[in-house]
Structure 1
């Protein structure tokens, strides 16, 4: 996880432009086109992840273009899906 105030460097990797820390905080609090950037408090600071930023951009793009996107799945639900698939394969053996 990275401090929200420093997350602009991740955005810069995608867009080529670094948003100001106030923009990052605005995306997390008010959002953009009805989508808010996911954050968590850790170590007394608001933080986000590379994955959450990618999900935010995908959701904003979908909101602007009118497309529907599937809700992001958590690592826990992806793991559970993998477990279920493995059990199904073992049941067939």
Structure 2
């Protein structure tokens, strides 16, 4: 890539700083800096987070991070489309007898826990 970077126009940040721009996930924990670095080095879903090395430090920008998130995000996340597809699928399965009728109550599944044997 022969494009020159305008250091005055972009604010470069380390991968650790970039994690502060991302929402907290899994049990409220932040995204780990090594995850963001992996997105830059190996990529995710065929896309790589743009980054530069400044000395030994891997850096990115907020613009590059938002472009990366937009590229890897699903294009259609409308709840209406998902529920319509689910309803159509359920109707087809019910027509083939693979789903219980909607009037029937489904029995909840109960996990069986093994009880330890008593020692004599």
CA shift, 1:16, in A, is: 4.0
* 2:37 corresponds to: 25
In the alignment, the residues of structure 1 paired with residue 59 and residue 35 of structure 2 have an alpha-carbon distance, to the nearest angstrom, of 14
In the alignment, the residues of structure 1 paired with residue 60 and residue 44 of structure 2 have an alpha-carbon distance, to the nearest angstrom, of 16
Instruction: List gaps (5 residues or longer) in structure 2.
Output: 1-11, 77-120
Q: Relative contact order: is structure 1 or structure 2 higher (C-alpha 8 Å, sep ≥ 6)?
A: 1
CA shift, 1:44, in A, is: 2.7
Larger Rg: 2
In the alignment, the residues of structure 1 paired with residue 13 and residue 55 of structure 2 have an alpha-carbon distance, to the nearest angstrom, of 11
Normalised TM-score (structure 2):
0.45
1:53 to 49, 57, 65: 65
Normalised TM-score (structure 1):
0.57
- Superposition RMSD on alpha carbons, in Å? 1.8
1:7 aligns with 2:18: yes
CA shift, 1:6, in A, is: 2.6
Q: Which runs of 4+ in 1 moved over 2 A?
A: 15-18
Instruction: List gaps (5 residues or longer) in structure 1.
Output: 67-93
Is the helix fraction higher in 1 or 2? 1
Report how many residues are paired.
61
